[in-house]
Amino acid sequence: MVKDPVDLSGKHVMITGCTAGLGRAAALELASMGARVSIVCRDERKGEELARDIERKTGRDDTRVYVGDMGVQADVRDVGERFLETGEALDVLFNNAGVVNQQRAVTTDGFEATFAVNHLAYYVLSVMLAERLQEAPEGRVVCTASDAYKFVNGSIDFDDLQSERRYTTFGAYGSSKLANILFTRELARRLQGTNVTANAFHPGMVGSDFAKNNGFVAQVAMTLIKPLARSPLKGAETGIYLCSSPDVAGHSGGYYYDCKQHTTRAAARDDADARRLWEVSEKLTGVSLP
C-alpha cells in the first residue's frame, strides 16, 4: 500500500502497460483507492485476469479492458476511438506501456519499435483523449519516464529518431525516455489554461519482467538484480502520487522521483526540442490536438 492514499471514488483512470510490474501494481492500488480503472494491454487473457484480481481485491466489477498493441498505430487509435465512443470523461491517463529491445526491431508502421511503443503511443493516446480529460474536473496525464534518459549523450538526435544509422539497446531506450520527458513538457505547455496537467516520473530500478523479452541473458540479469531492485508497488508509488495527490493539483510539466519534483539535465528542459518533437510526432502519426 502506498503512503497517504487518496480517496479516488468517482474518478476514472486509464492505464497502459498494466498486466505486469509497476503497471499492474498501480492498477490494483488505484482501484483500491476507489478509482474505476480502464486497462490497456496486448494480451486479452492477462487483461481479464487483472480485471478479476481488481474485483477480488476491491469488489469493483466495472473494470474495462481495451486490447491493443501500443507498437501498432492502428491499435493505439482503436483504443482511443473506442474510449471516445463511450462518451465518458477521463480523470487520469497513465501512460506506462514500455519496451526495451536488444536488437533493433521495426513495427508494421515502419517505426523503430522502442520509439513507437515508448513515445509515439504516449503521444497519440494523450492527444486523442485530451478533450475527455478536459471534461473531468481535474484531468491528469502521467507518463512513466526514466533516468535512463541520461544514457543520451547530449540532446535528442532528430536526424536518427528511428535509430537507423546506429542502434544500441541503451541508446534507443534512453532516447525514448528523453522523448517522454520532452513530450510531457510540451503537452503541459499546450494545455496551459485548461484543467489538465501533465507530469512524468522516474520509477527507479524495479524488479519485474521488463526486458525479459530479450532472451536468456536478459532473463538471468533481471532475475539477479531483483533482490536489489524496488518492488513493483514501490516503483509505481510516484506514478500513483501524480495520479491522485492533491499536493500536485495544478502543477504541470514536472519530472518526479520518490514523490518529489526533480530538476532534469538541460537536454530534457530544451523547449525548442520539445516543440520540435511534438511537430515530428504530429507528422509521423497524423494526430493533432483540436
Tell me which residues are annotated as active site: 173
For residue 63, give the nearest of 21, 97, 126, 19 by alpha carbon: 19
| Of 192, 210, 2, 177, residue with least CA distance to 95 | 177
Residue 238 and residue 26 in contact, taking contact as beta carbons nearer than 8 Å: no
Q: What gap in Å lies between CA 156 and CA 138, rounded to an integer?
A: 32
* Chain position carrying cell 541520461: 150
Supply angle C-alpha 14, 209, 253, rounded to 5. Answer: 40
> What is residue 70's DSSP assignment?
T
The grid cell for 57 is 481485491
Say if CB 72 and CB 78 are below 8 A apart: no
